[in-house]
Structure 1
Amino acid sequence: MSEVTYNRLRTTDPARWTTAALAWRRWAALAGALCGEFAPLVERLRAAWSGAAAEAAVTRLAAVRRRLVLFRLLCWRVDQVLSEFAAALSRARALLDRARAVSAPAEPALDQPDLAGALRVAADADASATARLAELSALPVAPAEPRRPDCTATPAQIRQWWDGLTPAERMWLLGDEPASVAGLDGVPAADRDLANRLLLAERRDYLLRTGVDVDKLRGLDRLAGRLESEGGPRAYLMGLDVGNDGRAVVAFGDPDRAANVLTHVPGMTADLADLDHELVRAERVAARATELGPAAATSAVAWLGYDAPDFLNEAWSARQAEEGAAGLRRFQEGLRAGHEGPAATQTVLGHSYGSLVVGKAATGALDADRVVFVGSPGVGVDSARELTVPADKVFASTSISDPIQYAAVSPGTVARHLLPGSPPTGPADELWFGHNPSDAEFGARVFDSQWNAGHLGYWDPGRPALDALARITLGGTP
């Protein structure tokens, strides 16, 4: 590691590190394709050959496959490190450009705030990348203590167990027992990403074996495509379940190393088949927050960790929100437990029915510094004071063109707002699940959205709502 100076940063091209990260990601993909050939190869060998020599050959093939799995893990780890390093250098260059714009035509002074911040961001990133890459020299070894956390362990206890393992033991678990790690809240996001990526092909094969749900399979393939994408912030697959409608948790940027972390909770009809829409929304907030606040890293998580309602007859009930609230609380607790360095500003955003999930979670011990309700049908309470998050950290917005605000409790009110020939008389205060959080009397800090956002346009680029969400994520005001 060498000293970061103004001249070195000025001539640094973050794209070179992004290109290097992508090369390692492609090597992992190639090794994955080779791994996929081993199972049918072994089956054909056993069908045509038996005896001691055949068993020796199978054992040898298994050893080669394990080495390929280890190679994939190492490739993905380098990809993670270099991707985060490139992202940090891009933020440092943005700060440097600000400093140069203010000082032009002269070079900025070293004590100029943006320049000082740029050098600090670059130096911290350099030190972190150096330390993480140094850990890759350890060869996997089975844990000396075979015990695993039981189902009652808290995320903090799980993190304590994980930290008690050596880098070599962690790598062994990721390669040999990825399913035991992939869904553990408290295990660092980067490690869960490795485990879930290893399991991705297996889950696709499961869908094919159990009867193809074409839409779900396409959704899984789109998710896999985003994980390999060469554009945007690096994606971290923190959870994946292909049962029922499918669930997934995907972060953009490493939440364990970000100063600001947004958890995006989607609403009705969200499932694996159309997860890509939710990924775009979360990614846009992360990207815009990074543009507005490059001094600190921001990560956004698309959290589809609950069974969202498929139809209105399910969405009329709070049952699925109540079930999802428990999982959301644990996930947030896991984010806190897995974080490196100073605590992040954790924001939880609920959209549509997802706002009810967040509201239910926030009536208990939700580990969030801020909550945001967007396009809400009500959040299960009638006042921000009923939430455990301070009222001045509760934000809400509903576009005037969003039809959800007319879903009032009273059938007569619904008719008055929605029937043909009866133009809306204005937003209803009492919605299906309680007082409208975007009404001043609820007590949240209401921010403006563009009038034509409808129900899904809050994340449209270049519009007021997206900027407001980014500023809230950064810990500021809309």
Structure 2
Amino acid sequence: MTTVTIDIPAAIDAIPAVEGDPAVVAAFAQDLLASAVNLDDLDAFALDSSTLDGWTGDAATAYGRHVRAAGADAQAMGVALRQVSRAADDHADALTDLLRRRTDLVEARSSYHEAREDLDADIRSAGEVDDAAIAELQARAAALATRRDGVVADVDALVRDLGTAERAMLDAFSSYSTLAQARAAVSGQIDLADDALGRPGSPSQGGTPEQVAAWWDSLTEEEQYAVFAARPELVGNTDGIPALARDQANRLLLETDLEAMELREQRGERLFEDYQALDNARAAQAALDEGAQRVDPVTGEPLVPLLHLYDATAFGGDGKVAIAFGDPDTADHVSVMVPGLTSRGTEAGGNADAAYNIYESARLSDPHSTASSIMWIGYDAPSDWDSATVAGEGRAEEGGELLSRYIDGLRASRDGSPAHLTVIGHSYGSTTTAHGATDHGLAADDIVLVGSPGAGGGVEHASELGVGADHVWAGNNSRDLVAALADDGWVGGWMLGGAGLGNDIVEDDFGANRFQAESTTRADVMRNFGDHTKYFDPDTESLYNIGQIVVGDYDEVLAAEHSYDPWYDGPVDPEATRDPRALDDRRPEW
């Protein structure tokens, strides 16, 4: 009997551990960056405070020299923290990749050992076998050896890359461990952020959204990071910059705002203007926290809301904020909801709820496409002490210009094909949206007006909104008190004394596509303000139809009869006598 030896490859040692939590490192990087922002602010404050009006002489000169030196040191430390923060960000990314690779290797090692044990068992039980069986066992052993070599090589690469990542982090710490090193790092160097912001097309140079987008794309990754770290308020609130960068910058601003204002609150040092700003910041954070609990209705995956606009002190303390569900830079369908009366920073939560409801309706209307839904409080809507301005169109005219620029920014920041973009104006926001369209050529594909007191005093027909009358959609609840303020012919207009903000958008003469927007909980008879706030409620006619419009399924929109005004009487709304229905996007039963 001939003895044949088959070499079984050796076992693979345990896969080395990868120590570290990417989330903790990323949070550390964010904290460093927040500190860098504060140091940049200190540098700017020092420069502005280096001279005091009316103070001259040797003491004033010495004071100025000392303050400027402190500012220069703040700048140096800020640059140092930016560099370490970026290294920490890179380390968090490296850890994420290394941990994934280690998980794969653990599985590969386990699978290899199972195959090795199977081969060993088959060889031991072989006994008398023919040449073909021996060849098959030898081939399995050879394949297993090759497989082992691959796993071992990958383990070696893992260990090598882990060492490289750790050394890079250690080098960043050691390079900026002293103030002297920080000073040396900036001595004689051109500030990347200042250099980038000085180029044509930048926000500092007054670039249009299209120019800003081209400028941002022209920057190197290092330059983008420098601008982000030095001027997060510009990155976060400039139209034309990508949504993910804006979100990161605005979250950084929100974090530093909350920390600074809550510290002053704890010390009893709050100024009056802090109260409004802190309320706005807390509302934005609460809306983000609540939004992070939402899931995509089709995939069930958690959503990460994007803070697309944030300034807690804008508009005299009213604040501005925009929150997006879904990425507007990549989604097939993008919608922007423009709220009206009482909309300010403290209303972030309720408006974010509405934006999510629109997102959910759009996704359920077309599960095969992607969507992004944004709530935009980016203009000075009538609220609080200035609520009386709702009777005029001044705020709507100013807001329309800001809205048009914002939409241009959404168009410009995309790399791929254009999105199907819908702007949804509610209440005074419908008048603002209409002014954006008629005065500034709003770059929308569809315009939806709901709960509207009118589309502006100078607008006689839907075709004047610039998207074609067949792409203007109107949804006024027959019980909505605010919608009743619009001008309905000579009788209605005379009876209300011109209280509205233009023609009734659901009237036949206006020429918009009217869709069903009644609520099953509407008031029995009387016009009221409660029905004015139901347009984005789940399972309503209005929300269902808005979802269909957002994804371009126009044939699925449930049409409603237009109102009309006979010459001899007041306006007539056929929707007032129709029984409304609850519409569930998941189980349509109409």
For 2:252, the equivalent position in structure 1 comes to 198
SS in 2 for 1:250: strand
Larger radius of gyration: 2
Matches within 5 A, 1:151-300: 151-204=205-258, 205=260, 209-211=270-272, 214=275, 216-229=277-290, 230-232=292-294, 233-243=303-313, 244=316, 245-300=318-373
How far did residue 170 of structure 1 move?
A: 1.2
Unpaired segments of 5 or more residues in structure 1?
1-22, 44-49, 79-136, 418-427
SS of 2:532's partner is: coil
Q: What is the rounded CA distance, in whole Å, between the counterparts of 2:499 and 2:388 in structure 1?
A: 16
1:294 Cα deviation from its structure 2 partner = 2.2
After TM superposition, give the deviation of residue 212 of structure 1 in Å.
5.6
Whether contact under 8 Å (1:399, 1:449) holds in the other structure is yes
Q: Is the 8 A contact 1:216 1:273 kept in 2?
A: no
Aligned partner letter, 1:401: R
Report the secondary structure of 1:336's partner residue.
helix
Please tell me the root mean square deviation across aligned C-alpha atoms, in Å.
3.8
The two structures have a TM-score, normalised by structure 2, of 0.57
Structure 2 Cα separation of the partners of residues 37 and 173 of structure 1: 15
Q: How far off is 1:280 after superposition?
A: 0.7
**From 434, 437, 453, the counterpart of 1:377:** 453
- Is 1:448–2:448 an aligned residue pair? no
- 1:73 and 1:218, CA in 2 relative to 1: closer, same or farther beyond 3 A? farther
**Separation in 2 of the partners of 1:435 and 1:57?**
61
Number of the residue aligned with 1:466: 543
Q: Counterpart of 2:404 in structure 1: which amino acid?
A: R
Q: CA deviation at 1:231?
A: 1.6
Query: Greater relative contact order: 1 or 2 (C-alpha under 8 angstroms, separation 6 or more)?
Result: 1
Q: Do the aligned partners of 2:452 and 2:486 also contact (CA within 8 Å) in 1?
A: no
1:187 aligned counterpart, secondary structure: coil
Amino acid corresponding to residue 147 of structure 1 in structure 2: G
Query: How far apart in 2 are the matches of 1:444 and 1:324?
Result: 22
Distance 2:542 2:71 in 1: 63
Contact between 1:188 and 1:256, CA under 8 Å: does it hold in 2?
Answer: yes
Give CA-to-partner distance per residue, 1:239-296, whole Å, 9 cap, x none: 2122221111221111001110001100011001122111110111112211221222
Retained in 1: the 8 A contact 2:437–2:466?
Answer: yes
Distance in 2 (CA, whole Å) between partners of 1:146 and 1:413 is 54
Question: SS of the residue aligned with 1:355?
Answer: helix
Q: Structure 1 CA distance, aligned partners of 2:344 and 2:486?
A: 26
Residue 313 (structure 1) shift: 1.9
Secondary structure in 1 matching 2:329: helix
Contact 1:406–1:431 (8 Å) recurs in 2: no
More deviation, 154-163/224-233 = 224-233
Q: Which amino acid in the other structure matches residue 192 of structure 2?
A: A
Kept in 1, the 8 Å contact 2:32–2:85? The answer is no
> What does 1:139-150 correspond to in 2, within 5 Å?
142=192, 145=196, 147-148=198-199, 149=202, 150=204
CA distance in 2 between partners of 1:283 and 1:295 (Å): 18
Partner of 1:113: none
Superposition deviation, residue 70 in structure 1: 3.1
Query: How far apart, CA to CA, are the structure 2 residues paired with 1:370 and 1:305?
Result: 20
| Contact map agreement 2:261 2:278 (CA 8 A) in 1 | no
Measured after TM superposition, the shift of residue 76 of structure 1 is 10
In 2: Cα distance, 1:72 partner to 1:366 partner: 42
The number of residue pairs the alignment matches comes to: 376
Looking at structure 2, the residues matched to 257 and 76 of structure 1 have their Cα atoms a distance apart, in angstroms, of: 25
Q: Distance in 1 between matches of 2:92 and 2:426?
A: 32
- 57 and 66 in structure 1: CA distance in 2 versus 1, 3 angstrom threshold: same
Matches within 5 A, 1:312-461: 312-363=387-438, 364-380=440-456, 381-408=459-486, 432-451=500-519, 452=521, 454-461=531-538
Structure 2 equivalent of residue 46 of structure 1: none
* TM-score (normalizing by structure 1): 0.69
CA gap 1:294/1:409 in 2 versus in 1, 3 angstroms: closer
Q: For residues 88 and 543 of structure 2, what CA distance do their matches in structure 1 show? A: 36
CA offset at residue 464 of structure 1? 1.7
Matched, 1:70 2:86: yes
Instruction: Report the Cα distance in structure 1 between the residues aligned to 2:389 and 2:544, rounded to whole angstroms.
Output: 32
Shift of 1:177: 2.5
By how many angstroms is 1:237 displaced? 1.4
CA distance in 2, matches of 1:174, 1:398: 43
Letter of the structure 1 residue corresponding to residue 253 of structure 2: L
